[in-house]
Amino acid sequence: MNQINILIVEDEALVAAMIKEALSGSKYTVRAVAFTKASAEKYLLTEPIDAALLDINLDGHFEGIEIGRLIRDQHHIPFLYITAHADDQTLHNAKLTQPSGYIIKPFTERDLLAGLEIAIYNFHQKHSSSRDLNSINQRLKEPLSARELDVLRLIFDGRTNQQMSEELFISINTIKTHLSRLFIKLNAGSRTEAIARARDLM
């Protein structure tokens, strides 16, 4: 069984130790424990990390979300938030970083292991689908742009225009423009037709 290297980002030493203990004896190996944003960034650059568990609130600030955004944009590994903060605004800010999972404190060992298992599986399934979508351009006369591919992936995920706007950090009008161009290139008149056409080309 291949070991999966985990980064724990948690500013409470006792909680970090509990997570490490819960993962001991499993296929997960705690490669590093970071108590600050700076140390988390260092480990992401220097250690072979396969997945990360992030506390949202580090030293009174929501720096875990900043680390999640960094992982999404630069490191491309699955990560889960582990936090006691579950209010609507925190959840909204966290989901924009596209985490693979979200575990609320207090949690059990079973919660942790199940959350990791599902998160890593879903992450790799999603990225496998992304590679399939990239192959569409090989069969299109006019290839989709990188942003149009992003929009197509979000269509497959069932996102609304508003959700696309939030996740891609662009205006709804720009989303509509990308959708219009996407439909033309796929010879589709709706999202449903675009999905069907894309599947035919994959």
- Domain ranges for the chain, please list them: 4-126, 140-201
Q: Which fold has domain 140-201?
A: Arc Repressor Mutant, subunit A (1.10.10)
Residues 192-202, mean pLDDT to the nearest whole number: 87
135: pLDDT strictly greater than 50: yes
At 151, is the secondary structure helix, strand, or coil? helix
As a three-state string, the secondary structure of 152-171 is HHHHHCCCCHHHHHHHHCCC
Secondary structure (DSSP) of 96-134: TT--SEEEESS--HHHHHHHHHHHHHHHHHHHHHHHHHH
pLDDT at 171 (0 to 100): 92
Q: Is this structure's pTM higher than 0.75?
A: no
How far, in Å, CA of 136 to CA of 155, rounded? 15
- Mind listing the pLDDT tens digit for each residue in 94-113? 888 889 988 888 899 999 99
pLDDT at 139 (0 to 100): 86
What CATH number was assigned to the domain covering residues 4-126? 3.40.50.2300
Contact 168, 150 (CB under 8 A): yes
- Tokens linked to 73: 């944009």
127: pLDDT strictly greater than 80: no
pLDDT at 129 (0 to 100): 60
Mean pLDDT, all residues of the chain: 89
Residues 85-92, mean pLDDT to the nearest whole number: 77
- Mind listing the pLDDT tens digit for each residue in 17-61? 999 999 998 899 999 999 999 999 999 999 999 999 999 988 778
Range from 55-59, 75-79, 86-90 carrying the lowest mean pLDDT:
86-90
At 43, is the secondary structure helix, strand, or coil? helix
